[in-house]
Amino acid sequence: MLDSLRRLWEVENLSPHGICLLWRPELIWTHIISDTVIALAYFSIPVALATFVSRRRDVVFGWVFWSFAVFITACGATHLMAIWTLYVPDYGLEAMVKILTAAASIGTAVALWYLMPRALSLPSPTQLRSANEELLARIAERDHALAALKEANAERQRTEALLRQSQKMEAVGQLTGGVAHDFNNLLNVVLINLDRVERSLPADSPLLAPLRDAMQGAERGAAVTHKLLAFARKHPLSPVRTDVNARIGSFAELLRGSIGAKIRLETDFAPGLAPLVIDPNQLENAILNLAVNARDAMPEGGTLTIRTRPLPEGGLAQGQTGVCVEVSDTGTGMPPEVEARAFEPFFTTKPLGQGTGLGLSQVFGFAQQSGGSAAIVPGSERGTTVRLCFPAEPRPAPAPDRAEAPGLGFAPGFAVAG
């Protein structure tokens, strides 16, 4: 065994490979140049593989690349040995290099065949692209569902806010109605007795002046009670068949005198509107209240517009027809926190002594009692728009639970509540 190994390294009885080529320069240099280029290429490939694997540690089966690097390096060494044996008959060393190359090639081939099924199970670029597109589609679908859920949640919150506002206004209306009834009874007693005292006093009595001041204060209190009853929807109405366009058109001249010369009044009436069964005097009173509020919101002047429109489908109830009256101004508008409380009684943004805060609440109560609605139109670019909607055939309102007393003529609509 040792003798065989020793003989493997002997070179004395061997000739270099160049002798076989008769030392012809064109053959020698062709072998040298080609083997050198192949060896350099082989040695550069392991460097590239090593760089790739070291930087991409997430590559699957990375150890196979290192096996390839060893195999290709050994192949490059065989080509260098081919150049060496052209001049030196060191065929034993060349045989050892080839043995190492054979071992590396067998190991690499076995590893490749072992990994072949697992490599084939990996997704292809086309499959990855398809999976990515499907994932993007699912993400878009999820985003769309989230947006729809967010919109539905926002709509639910708006509906709950409207419900809470409606419940609050209903509770305030019930409380206001009860207080107004009791206060109405007290004022009626005061006015009756003041009237009796006035009749019993002589014409030159010094008590007549303070007595009349007291009656005037009581009458103002009765007017406030009248507005409170309108908000509480317990004020008696006298509905008649009314052409809204004609009624507002004839009322426009009175409005021009109430809003002043700096404000331009415009009307926009939709033709062919169905007549309403409504209290025309209370309708004019509601429009007058809205016009006065609009005038106060335009101290430097502006435009007041009164529009009539058919009731939008589903505006009050499914399949119900009617008319909407809109009063718009070009004033300062309302911030959201004021808009949310605009119809509450006694709520006002005016300075002390310049408003009772009952104008819009009276409008709200009249619209509700007439089977309609009153609302501030959201999203106005400038100013404020209040929309009153009335059905063509209103539902009969429940009769207020009160006892009528003989009217004394001290205030419009004044009556005793039970």
Domains along the chain with CATH numbers: 2-121 (no CATH), 163-391 (3.30.565.10)
What's the rounded mean pLDDT across residues 87-109? 89
What's the CA gap between 91 and 301, in Å, rounded? 113
With cut-offs at 50, 70 and 90, classify the pLDDT of residue 411.
very low
What is the residue whose two structure tokens read 């060893």?
70
Q: Is pLDDT of 400 > 50?
A: no
- CA torsion 371-374-378-384 (nearest 10°) is 150
Q: What is the CA radius of gyration of the chain?
A: 50
With cut-offs at 50, 70 and 90, classify the pLDDT of residue 140.
very high
Q: Give the pLDDT confidence of 365-376 residue by residue, as tens digits.
A: 888 888 888 888
pLDDT for 325 equals 92
pLDDT for 410 equals 35
pLDDT for 33 equals 94
Share of the chain above pLDDT 70, in %: 77
Q: Phi, psi at residue 174, to the nearest 5°?
A: -65, -45
What's the CA gap between 195 and 409, in Å, rounded? 11
The closest of 292, 297, 358, 370 to 332, measured between CA atoms, is 297
- Average pLDDT across the chain, whole number: 79
Which one of 39-43, 52-56, 117-121, 174-178 scores highest in mean pLDDT?
39-43
Alpha carbon of residue 349 to chain centroid: 30
CB contact set of 74 (below 8 Å; sequence gap of 6+): 97, 100, 101, 104, 105
Alpha carbon of residue 173 to chain centroid: 33
Helices 244-259 and 280-296, interaxial angle, to 10°? 40
With cut-offs at 50, 70 and 90, classify the pLDDT of residue 108.
confident
Q: Is pLDDT of 303 > 50?
A: yes
pLDDT for 402 equals 40
pLDDT for 141 equals 92
pLDDT for 83 equals 92
pLDDT for 381 equals 64
More confident residue, 408 or 193: 193
pLDDT for 137 equals 92
The closest of 374, 260, 275 to 321, measured between CA atoms, is 275
Which one of 166-175, 298-307, 329-338, 340-349 scores highest in mean pLDDT?
298-307
CB 371 within 8 A of CB 391: yes
Helices (H), 9-124: 17-20, 25-55, 62-87, 91-121
What's the CA gap between 370 and 325, in Å, rounded? 14
Q: Is pLDDT of 404 > 70?
A: no
pLDDT for 406 equals 33
Stretch among 106-110, 128-132, 167-171 having the lowest mean pLDDT: 167-171
Stretch among 116-120, 136-140, 289-293, 351-355 having the lowest mean pLDDT: 351-355
